[in-house]
Each structure stands twice: as C-alpha cells, then as structure tokens.
C-alpha cells in the first residue's frame, strides 16, 4: 500500500463504532488499560449500530410466523425482511433459498444432511473444522494443503477428474483462512468444480466480515457464515444457495414450523407434509433477534463501503506484518507466501516461547486479547508448523508448561472496529516481550497458561 493510500485509509475510513472500545481491564503489573480486542476471527464485537437496532426492537419482540397479534406480525415481517436483506447482501440468485441457522458449523452440517445419496465430497485439509468435519457420512476425499492458489485449483481439478462422473459431488472451500488470513481462489475453484459436474459451498465465515461476497460473481452454489464474526454476536448464522438439494432432503430438525400439514393415520402413526421453503430447515421458534442483527450488520457494512473498509484493513495488516518482520524471532505462518492477499488474520510463533505463555503475557501485562492454540484447524496448523500429523493437540488448550515446546501458535485478528492504537500496542508488546521477557511468572492451570498469583 502506498503512503497516500495508507493516509486515506486512516483519515477517510475511521473504525466503525463497536461495543467494548472503552472497556478497561486490570494488568498484573498494576493499574488498568483499555482492552485491545484482537481476536476478531473468533468473535467480533457487536457493531454499535447492531446493538442499537436490537435494543430498539426488543420491546416489540414476539412469536414469529404463528401469531395473530400485532407484535407477532411485526416480528414476522422483521424476520422475513432480514432474510431479504441478507439475500441482497450476498447477491444471491433469484431462486436461491436462505436459511437462518445457528452458525457456520450449523449451516454446513445442515448441508451435509441434505447431500444426495452417493454424493462425493472434496475438501482441503486446510479447512476449519466447521467445514472439514461435517461430511463424515459421505464419501470424502481430503486434499493436501496447496502452496499456491494455482496449485489449489490444479489439485482440485486432478481430484475431480478421477471421480465417478455419474454421481453427485460437492466441493467445500474457505474464502479466507482462519489461520493465515490468506484469500483463496474461490472463483477459479468454483469454475473447476462446475467444469467437472460438481457443486461448491463457500465457507465465508472469515471472508464476509472483510470483503464483499457475491454468490453470483463467485459462481458458488452455497455460502455459509456466522453472525458472531460479522459483528452480530446473537447466535445466528446463514446458509444460502441452491434450493433443490435442500427441498429434496428431510428437514434438518423435525418440528413445528418445518411441517405444513400433519395427520394421523389409521394405523396410529402420523403423515407429515413438509414445507418446501426455507422454513423446511428452520423448525422451532426462530432466532429473530439473531437474524435481525445479521441484517443490521449487513446494512452497516454496505453503507460504510467495502472499498474503504478493505483499504483501511490493508493498512492495519501492513502495519502488523511490518512490525512482526522487525523481530527475527517471530515466524509468520503462511501457505501462499508474503505477497498473497489476505484479511486481518495473522498467525505466528515466537522462537523460545510457548505460544500459550506468550498470549497470556500479552493479556496480563498489556491488556491485549489474542488467540493461541490450533484454532480448530488442526491439520493446517500442523502442516504449517511441520509437525507429525498424528501429534495430539487440543483446540485452543495447549497442555505444555510455559517455556516447553508445544504444538500451538498465536493468532492476532482485527477488522472494521479496530483502532490504530490496538495494533500499535500489540506490535510494541511483541517487541518488548521478545527483547525483555515477561515481567510476571506464569503457571499452567487446566491446560491454560495463567499468571501465577
């Protein structure tokens, strides 16, 4: 990024207002400091706009779809308008369906339940567990980690060329890695999938908060993401895309809302006629606040403009990467290399440090919240660290004592609500910890490194 672009990113696009910006936390060394939330890849803070919209609606909350009262009708309209808003945000095709779920994990498990018989699934080992694991009941082909975007496409093309050409197939791929932040060649992978008669689902959990996601431009068949990563942490997610597999499948959950008609049979059983709309997979009382919050976040990001949001984030990325590059003991993890485009997610290890110890010191001594562990992407992190694939590890909970060698890394992540000061404090803290060491003693408790009291 040029100097002029960096300046524009700082001045034209200020951080979006988020909750928690003024929260102070105690330091083990004494005093308090404003908390630097740099774990956006796990859960982003709520946008102030989202919180205000939810608060304004809360007094009018009512049952959805099955109530005659005014508040029920208002809540139903709000829920269905949220569906339309998110559909527009994703630039879906006119006949696509959008199902509100609990999360990306829930969305992909729903799709896994809707796979046609005999469907073969292709997934790279680099995926988050949410998109790596739901396909256990299908015929799964796990693809090795590519080292360039072009290699990713070539690897998929070879695998698809060898598949049974007469059966259904699905490719599952991330849009942006939750470990390296690197952008994947989604459009090219979608083209390769379709050229071989396969469909493709995009895990956009890490992509949607940072870049526009167009189902039509990318050419994907489905997209899944979570509200809690899109500045709407109210327990909702989205699966949007082609309706045919979803309509042909039994409901993800059986119950009220999914059923259109239920009758008793003479033999004592029941016959059920299921909805063919998105309601088929939204049994039970829907999370109207969660759906509304996602729609609110979609509006806020659209109005802010992704061009300016991306420009400012690229400035923050360059600032963090330049700062880490000045510390020889720091190794940044990457599949595609330093020049690969990426979102605000950076993972690294520090020579001579257990990553849990380092992350604990950042929190306790500097008031900086990052993530350490394997980030629910065990095969990818092990590949990046060059470890034995059979090495045991626990997501986010390394059991090695401070100073001992353990299989884990540190992840810093940020986004539209991150102020410059947070990343500047982080870079300075890394320098100080590496050069001067921790100022406090730490111990292991329940698999976590914590300050010794």
HSE-up (13 A, CA, CB side) for residue 173: 32
75 with 58: CB under 8 angstroms? Answer: no
Nearest-angstrom CA–CA distance, 29 and 23? 18
CA-to-CA dists, residue 273 to 120, 180, 257, 438, angstroms: 29, 46, 11, 64
Q: Are strands 330-332 and 270-274 parallel, antiparallel or unpaired?
A: unpaired
Residue of 13, 92, 172, 376 marked active site: 376
Residue 169's DSSP bridge partners are 120
Q: What six digits make up the tokens of 435?
A: 């050069």
Nearest-angstrom CA–CA distance, 53 and 376? 32
Residue that has been written with the tokens 């802010």 in this structure: 304
Nearest-angstrom CA–CA distance, 316 and 50? 24
Strand locations in 353-408 (E) = 368-369, 371-373
Nearest-angstrom CA–CA distance, 180 and 346? 5
Q: What share of the chain is helix, strand, coil (3-state, %, to 5)?
A: 35, 20, 45
160 with 188: CB under 8 angstroms? Answer: no
HSE-up (13 A, CA, CB side) for residue 101: 24
Nearest-angstrom CA–CA distance, 159 and 359? 39
Nearest-angstrom CA–CA distance, 34 and 403? 28
Strand locations in 137-269 (E) = 139-143, 169-174, 199-203, 222-226, 237-241, 259-264
Q: Are strands 97-101 and 237-241 parallel, antiparallel or unpaired?
A: antiparallel
376 among known catalytic residues: yes
List, as one string, the DSSP characters of 105-165.
HHHHHHHHHTPPTT-EEEEETTS-HHHHSTTTTSEEEEEPPPSSHHHHHHHHHHHHHTS-T
Grouping H, G, I as helix, E, B as strand and the rest as coil, residue 168 is: coil
Nearest-angstrom CA–CA distance, 161 and 154? 10
HSE-up (13 A, CA, CB side) for residue 234: 22
Catalytic positions = 376
């Amino acid at each position: 990024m040029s100097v002029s672009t960096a300046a524009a990113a700082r001045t034209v696009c200020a951080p979006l207002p988020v909750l928690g910006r003024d929260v102070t936390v105690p330091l083990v060394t004494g005093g308090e400091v404003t908390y630097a939330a740099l774990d956006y890849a796990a859960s982003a803070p709520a946008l102030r706009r989202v919180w205000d919209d939810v608060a304004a609606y809360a007094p009018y909350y009512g049952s959805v779809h099955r109530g005659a009262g005014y508040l029920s009708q208002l809540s139903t309209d709000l829920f269905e308008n949220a569906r339309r808003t998110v559909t527009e945000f994703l630039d879906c095709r006119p006949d696509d369906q959008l199902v509100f779920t609990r999360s990306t994990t829930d969305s992909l498990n729903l799709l896994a339940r809707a796979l046609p018989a005999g469907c073969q699934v292709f997934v790279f080992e680099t995926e988050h567990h949410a998109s790596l694991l739901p396909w256990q009941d299908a015929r799964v082909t796990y693809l090795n980690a590519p080292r360039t975007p072009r290699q990713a496409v070539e690897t998929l093309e070879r695998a698809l060329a060898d598949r049974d050409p007469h059966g259904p197939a699905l490719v599952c791929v991330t849009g942006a890695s939750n470990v390296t932040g690197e952008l994947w060649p989604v459009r090219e992978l979608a083209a390769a999938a379709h050229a071989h008669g396969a469909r493709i689902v995009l895990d956009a959990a890490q992509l949607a908060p940072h870049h526009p996601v167009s189902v039509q431009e990318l050419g994907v068949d489905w997209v899944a993401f979570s509200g809690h990563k899109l500045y709407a942490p109210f327990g909702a997610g989205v699966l949007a895309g082609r309706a045919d597999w979803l309509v042909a499948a039994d409901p993800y959950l059986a119950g009220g809302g999914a059923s259109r008609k239920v009758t008793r049979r003479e033999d004592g059983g029941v016959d059920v006629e299921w909805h063919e709309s998105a309601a088929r997979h939204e049994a039970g009382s829907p999370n109207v606040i969660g759906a509304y919050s996602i729609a609110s976040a979609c509006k806020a990001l659209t109005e802010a403009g992704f061009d300016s949001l991306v420009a400012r984030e690229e400035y923050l990325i360059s600032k963090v990467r330049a700062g880490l590059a000045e510390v020889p003991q720091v190794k940044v993890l990457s599949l595609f290399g330093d020049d690969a485009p990426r979102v605000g997610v950076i993972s690294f290890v520090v020579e001579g440090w257990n990553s849990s110890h380092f992350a604990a010191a950042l929190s306790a001594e500097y008031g900086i919240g990052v993530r350490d562990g394997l980030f629910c992407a065990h095969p990818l992190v092990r590949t990046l660290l060059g470890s034995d694939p059979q090495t045991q590890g626990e997501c986010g909970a390394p059991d090695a004592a401070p100073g001992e060698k353990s299989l884990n890394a540190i992840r810093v992540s940020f986004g539209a609500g991150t102020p410059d000061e947070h990343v500047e404090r982080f870079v300075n803290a890394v320098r100080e910890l590496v050069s001067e060491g921790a100022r406090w003693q730490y111990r292991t408790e329940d698999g976590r490194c914590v300050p010794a009291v």
